[in-house]
């Protein structure tokens, strides 16, 4: 079952379309990475999903229920953080959560639980204005967790953080998914972070959903062998052997680089190398990485 599902979701500002028929499907229990460059339409999509923008075309459903008919019930089951967190700088972390606790009508004991979850249990009387950017982001995430929602939607939660802060937020989201069992829909323009964080990914480019599925499916569909790297006890002799076999080869980065070959030709070359008493340390296909896949999708 899909936690969030959109059908033919389109939107325009004036005469310019920013979204074109987006069919998003977020599996329940997943960490869904919503990936795309700045300006691709990620925030617009999330605003439409949450009803923060008036929907023009298409449908949005949560847990099989449409937003038009069960808006209040749906939003009670969602925790969201879109763009900058709204926090009271003159209050402590606990006081910020107390305000929301009254709104959500959840037990006060839940405040201690979420502060522990996000690593802010020991901030005491420290005011939010004294928090680092990473601490503010963790507190903002805590506000989305207070009412135990089965779905959390986060828009660029690592934006502006240093590498250590990015790692902290990443580990926090993985832990929340594991311990709380909540589905997390997180947007980002950082491919490396989505690769380390998400179980599923949707790639948005120029308002169109270019790919949707697991990271493994993305690799299977889009990865290609660029070249073969061979490392031996004598790479110069290995180069001569490959050239004699009619293979266009060259030395680079301490290895013999070959074009993409069939398994049969690689096996035959390996036999030739060992017949010449060369120790073959490694034969490795080098594939295009996720960054290259992402850029290719954008260009297409």
Say what the pLDDT of residue 31 is. 94
In a shared domain, residues 56 and 174: yes
Structure tokens at 22: 């987006």
Q: End-to-end distance of the chain based on CA atoms, in angstroms?
A: 31
Say what the pLDDT of residue 133 is. 84
Predicted confidence (pLDDT) per residue in 178-206, tens digit = 888 899 999 988 888 888 899 999 999 88
Has residue 89 been placed in a domain?
yes
Q: How many CB atoms sit inside 10 A of residue 212's CB?
A: 19
In a shared domain, residues 9 and 153: yes
Has residue 282 been placed in a domain?
yes
More confident residue, 270 or 223: 270
Q: Which domain holds residue 8?
A: 2-221
- Is the distance from CB of 33 to CB of 194 less than 8 angstroms? yes
| 53, containing H or E segment | none
Boundary-marking domain end, from 173, 195, 221: 221
Say what the pLDDT of residue 220 is. 77
In a shared domain, residues 104 and 151: yes
Boundary-marking domain end, from 200, 221, 242: 221
Is residue 75 scored above 80 in pLDDT? Answer: yes
| 70, containing H or E segment | helix 67-75
Rounded Cα gap, residues 186 and 203, in angstroms? 12
Q: How many CB atoms sit inside 10 A of residue 164's CB?
A: 9
Rounded Cα gap, residues 257 and 225, in angstroms? 12
Percentages helix, strand, coil for the chain (3-state, rounded to 5) are 40, 30, 30
Boundary-marking domain end, from 160, 187, 221: 221
Average pLDDT over residues 28-53: 90
Say what the pLDDT of residue 280 is. 94
What mean pLDDT is reported for the chain?
A: 87
Say what the pLDDT of residue 168 is. 85
Is residue 297 scored above 90 in pLDDT? Answer: no
In a shared domain, residues 187 and 256: no
Number of domains in the chain: 2
Of residues 234, 228, 222, the one with CA closest to residue 288: 222
In a shared domain, residues 213 and 255: no
Q: What are phi and psi of 166, to 5 degrees?
A: -65, -45
In a shared domain, residues 247 and 106: no
- For β-strands 200-205 and 31-35, DSSP reports them as parallel
Give residue 100's pLDDT band: very low, low, confident or very high (50, 70, 90): confident
C-alpha to C-alpha distances, 67 to 29, 34, 59, 149, nearest whole angstrom: 20, 20, 8, 16
In a shared domain, residues 165 and 239: no
Has residue 300 been placed in a domain?
no
Is residue 171 scored above 80 in pLDDT? Answer: yes
Q: What CATH number has the domain bearing residue 271? A: 3.30.70.80
Average pLDDT over residues 133-156: 89
In a shared domain, residues 55 and 149: yes
Has residue 239 been placed in a domain?
yes
pTM reported for the whole predicted model? 0.79
C-alpha to C-alpha distances, 13 to 55, 63, 125, 168, 235, nearest whole angstrom: 12, 29, 45, 36, 59
Is residue 172 scored above 90 in pLDDT? Answer: no
């Amino acid at each position: 079952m899909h936690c969030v599902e959109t059908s033919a979701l389109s939107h325009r500002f004036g005469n310019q379309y920013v979204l074109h028929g987006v069919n998003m499907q977020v599996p329940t229990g997943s960490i869904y990475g919503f990936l795309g460059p700045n300006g691709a339409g990620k925030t617009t999509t999330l605003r439409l999903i949450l009803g923060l923008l008036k929907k023009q075309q298409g449908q949005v459903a949560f847990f099989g229920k449409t937003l038009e008919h069960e808006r209040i019930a749906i939003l009670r089951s969602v925790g969201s953080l879109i763009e900058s967190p709204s926090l009271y700088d003159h209050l402590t972390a606990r006081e910020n959560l107390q305000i929301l606790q009254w709104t959500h009508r959840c037990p006060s004991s839940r405040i201690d639980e979420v502060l522990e979850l996000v690593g802010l249990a020991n901030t005491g009387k420290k005011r939010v204005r004294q928090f680092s950017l990473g601490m503010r982001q963790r507190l903002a995430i805590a506000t989305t967790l207070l009412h135990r929602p089965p779905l959390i939607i986060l828009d660029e939660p690592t934006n502006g953080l240093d590498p250590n802060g990015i790692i902290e937020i990443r580990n926090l989201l993985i832990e929340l998914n594991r311990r709380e069992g909540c589905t997390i829909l997180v947007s980002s323009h950082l491919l490396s972070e989505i690769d380390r964080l998400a179980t599923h990914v949707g790639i948005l480019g120029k308002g169109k959903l270019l790919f949707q599925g697991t990271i493994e499916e993305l690799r299977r569909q889009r990865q290609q062998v660029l070249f073969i790297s061979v490392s031996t006890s004598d790479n110069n002799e290995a180069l001569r052997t490959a050239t004699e076999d009619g293979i266009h080869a060259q030395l680079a980065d301490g290895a013999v680089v070959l074009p993409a070959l069939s398994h049969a030709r690689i096996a035959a070359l390996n036999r030739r190398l060992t017949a010449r008493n060369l120790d073959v340390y490694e034969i490795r296909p080098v594939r295009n990485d996720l960054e290259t896949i992402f850029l290719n999708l954008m260009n297409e």
